[in-house]
Structure 1
Amino acid sequence: MTVTEKKETLQIGAFLKSRRAALDPDEVGLPPVHNRRRVPGLRREEVAQLAGISVDYYIRIEQDRAHSISAPVLDALARALRLTADEHTYLRNLADPQFGDGSSTRTVVRPEIQRLLDSMDPHIPAFVYGPGLDFLAWNRIGARVAFDLEALPPRWRNAPLLVFRHPDSRTLHPGWEELAAETVAALRADCARYPCHPRAKAVLTELLEGSPRFRELWEDHQVREKLSGRKRIHHPEAGELEVSYETFQLTVDHHQTLCTYTVEPGSPSEAALRWLADRTPAASVPH
């Protein structure tokens, strides 16, 4: 994949093409066009009609030749293409690189946040993510709930790299395919939010070059923030864990996200997590 092709993976045109190709004319109330529809989904003319803009202007947008696209036009395109809230935000980020620019954001966790992690219930794994979905900090049990974060070299403390490049990833995650798709969708949103951040760009480049499965999923142009959900982990010592995760954007450090894992009270997962926590030695977590 050339440098130009890598750049195009975050351009607005490729995203719009993928979204209109995924829509059926019946879904948006358009009459069928017999014998003239050669590609799946909506045609450019139909998207322009639904958005209330000229066909020429839409073509220029899709060819990445339009500059300073207004917010009302972006909103109209989002409605026409039935974008989700996450996809709508992603479209805004693509249209205005300054909207989510994270080139100057700090990747150091404040001591107050580390103290918060350390003071949490010892049976609740918690982490802080940064641009590129790096693990920036964690608590004691968080370091051992899946990958041994303390034992990893710093450059490997990154969620997408661990999912796609670590040799034990598929063994640790029984639902690997679902996790992989979620991770790619979250990284796409993150890269648009921080388009100039060197770490986000480095992670994306490495995965595009080194993981065929990542490349396939990336080309689907799925976008979704990882706000909450469930995850299965097959821990080599504690056994099966089924956890629920919740994420919270830090108000002061808006480029950092706190993530916690919880389990059902009285479940086998709770017993396994407590067993693991009781056998996890105190470690020197980063400050």
Structure 2
Amino acid sequence: MMNDQERRQELAHFLRTRRERLSPEAVGLPTGGRRRTPGLRREELAFVAGIGVTWYTRLEQGRDITVSPQILESLAKVFDLNAAERNHLFVLAREQVPADPHPLTDIISPALQRILDTMGVYPAYIANPSWDIVAWNQAMCRVYTDFSILPIHERNILRFMFTNPKQRSLLVDWEKEAQGLLAVFRASTERYVGESWFKALVADLQQSSPEFQAWWPRHDIQAAHASSKELNHPLVGKLALQSSSFQVMDAPDLRMVIYTALPEANTEQKLAQLAKAREVQFAG
């Protein structure tokens, strides 16, 4: 669980990154000539938000001070935060939601596996709160990779995106997908910031991925939503897929993600073609 000091440091970093993204023009202030640092100055932000500059400075420095909901609402308005970012701000500033005291689920029931398998040609997987892929179907292996032969620590969605070379060639717009995934990861794991697995994953990816190292400090936040993906599969060419996520009611810390075919690029037929090719391979 994240302690108070870690929470305040996260809050300070979040506020600083958002302040640096604001221009004077965006909030109705004069530019005032050349600036040594990007974004608004602290005193400008405090003025626009209607709060004391000394108080805001202490907040952005991670000091132990009490923050009212009204002040947070004012900051959220000035920063023009979306719903996920606003929630993130309140969680960091007011009171962190405790992490589940029980161990993260790393195995599923046979019934859940059967559900995955009944998805047929549609790729599907189940992940836990640390974004570890704990189960998948054969369609997922045909489209992405054979997860059964990956080392367990590599069966992590974020790690797979940033360190597996197949992803860069498979995804039509890898950079856009990776940035979006990172923003969703940050929003969905905010309650686990102090956990050892979270710290280890972030530290490892900062060392192994230059892109992760560059993008992580930006503190991007994005709510999870159904999204479309374009893939360049090495066997069948372009695939257009739509992802949908579902919470597993019998195990609330798990979520199931299913990729269905979009009409473009004859994706349905190509998924069936991949399944048929695998059947022929095993038959041979």
Contact 1:90 1:193 in 2 (8 A): no
Residue 64 of structure 2 corresponds to residue 66 of structure 1:
yes
Residue 198 of structure 2 corresponds to residue 200 of structure 1:
yes
Q: Return the offset for 1:94.
A: 2.7
Mapping of residues 1-287 of structure 1, within 5 Å: 11-28=10-27, 30-35=28-33, 37-95=35-93, 98-99=96-97, 101-102=99-100, 104-111=102-109, 112-119=111-118, 121-251=119-249, 253-265=251-263, 267-280=265-278
Q: Return the offset for 1:244.
A: 1.5
Corresponding residue SS for 1:244: strand
What's the TM-score once normalised by structure 1's chain length?
A: 0.83
Letter in 1 for 2:204: E
Contact 1:20 1:42 in 2 (8 A): yes
Letter in 1 for 2:143: V
Corresponding residue SS for 1:260: strand
Contact 1:108 1:136 in 2 (8 A): yes
Note closer, same or farther for the CA distance 1:107–1:59 as it changes in structure 2 (3 Å cut): same
Q: Return the offset for 1:238.
A: 3.2
Q: RMSD of the alignment, in Å?
A: 2.7
Q: Return the offset for 1:228.
A: 1.9
Q: Return the offset for 1:8.
A: 9.4
Fraction of identical pairs, as percent: 34
Contact 2:126 2:133 in 1 (8 A): yes
Larger CA deviation: 39-48 vs 79-88: 39-48
Contact 2:139 2:275 in 1 (8 A): yes
d(CA) in 2 for partners of 1:97, 1:238: 49
Structure 2: state its 5+ residue gaps.
1-5, 280-284
Note closer, same or farther for the CA distance 1:9–1:156 as it changes in structure 2 (3 Å cut): farther
How many equivalent residue pairs?
A: 273
Q: Deviations over 1:2-41 (max 9, x none)?
A: xxxxx7996111211111111223323x231524854332
Q: Return the offset for 1:135.
A: 1.0
Contact 2:206 2:213 in 1 (8 A): yes
Q: Return the offset for 1:276.
A: 1.7
Bigger helix fraction: 2
Contact 2:239 2:265 in 1 (8 A): no
Corresponding residue SS for 1:232: strand
Letter in 1 for 2:227: G
Q: Return the offset for 1:176.
A: 1.3
Q: Return the offset for 1:68.
A: 4.5
d(CA) in 2 for partners of 1:166, 1:266: 26
Q: Return the offset for 1:100.
A: 5.2
Larger CA deviation: 74-83 vs 183-192: 183-192
Q: Return the offset for 1:249.
A: 3.6
Contact 1:129 1:257 in 2 (8 A): yes
What's the TM-score once normalised by structure 2's chain length?
A: 0.84
Q: Deviations over 1:198-236 (max 9, x none)?
A: 333221111012211210011222111332222122223
Structure 1 outlier segments of 4+, above 4 Å: 7-10
Contact 1:238 1:276 in 2 (8 A): yes
Contact 1:12 1:62 in 2 (8 A): yes
d(CA) in 2 for partners of 1:156, 1:10: 29
Structure 1: state its 5+ residue gaps.
1-6, 282-287
Q: Return the offset for 1:151.
A: 1.6
d(CA) in 2 for partners of 1:67, 1:128: 40
Note closer, same or farther for the CA distance 1:42–1:190 as it changes in structure 2 (3 Å cut): same
